[in-house]
Structure 1
Amino acid sequence: MMTSKYKEGTSTNDHVSEFQSVMNQLLGMGVKVNDEILGLWLLATLLDYWETFRVSLINFAPQGIITLDLAKSGVLNEEVRRRSQGSTSQFEVLVTENKGRNREKDGKGRDKSRSKSREI
């Protein structure tokens, strides 16, 4: 259980169900684990590309407390959000273009960039 990780390509619903099943087995054996620890544990099973989600959920949790129910609902809702946006790949990439000076072309196809230095 300590090394359990979300498996790429499986649904988060299956992962959450598997996690809950193991928790139920532990409870059946008399092992008591704090609800906040369980919530954080579930988040820790997610792969690295869930890091932004984890941080956001932790930062916006009521009184800063992550419960198992909050973690489960957050994970399931995040999968729905990602699927609805079509970002089912493991990495979402932000691409910025034309970083640096703004360059304009004159009528002859030459750059008309201006220096950003100032005269003193």
Structure 2
Amino acid sequence: MDQGMARGWRYGGCRLRLLPRRPLAREEAELSAGARVRTFVALAEDRRRDIVRKTKDGLEAARRRGRVGGRRPVVDDDKRAAILARRQRGESIRTIAAGVKVSIGVVHKTLTAAQAEQQP
């Protein structure tokens, strides 16, 4: 970056100030760039580990308080019974989905789960 460009440059509330120094030899410049890249990679990995740890800690704290995340199931016991009864009568999955007001995938998943429960 040109020193003239960087004199008044601000980033995140911090002002960038370049200090004058001797020009680096080509080998030193390449080594320096590689070291900078490795440093940035290490910092990014460390930040990622912090985020993962904090997320897991937060989920565990919520679990201890009785708060479990995730979507609530679409099919309750009444809808499940209706889906299974309609399928017993021979209705198609599309007809069942339209009648119970759920998606075709939900009906298919419910039927597959019910089949798996019946088989040992």
- The structure that is helix-richer by fraction is 2
Larger relative contact order (CA 8 Å, sep ≥ 6) = 1
TM tier relative to shorter chain: under 0.3
TM (normalized to structure 1)? 0.22
TM-score, normalised by the number of residues in structure 2: 0.22
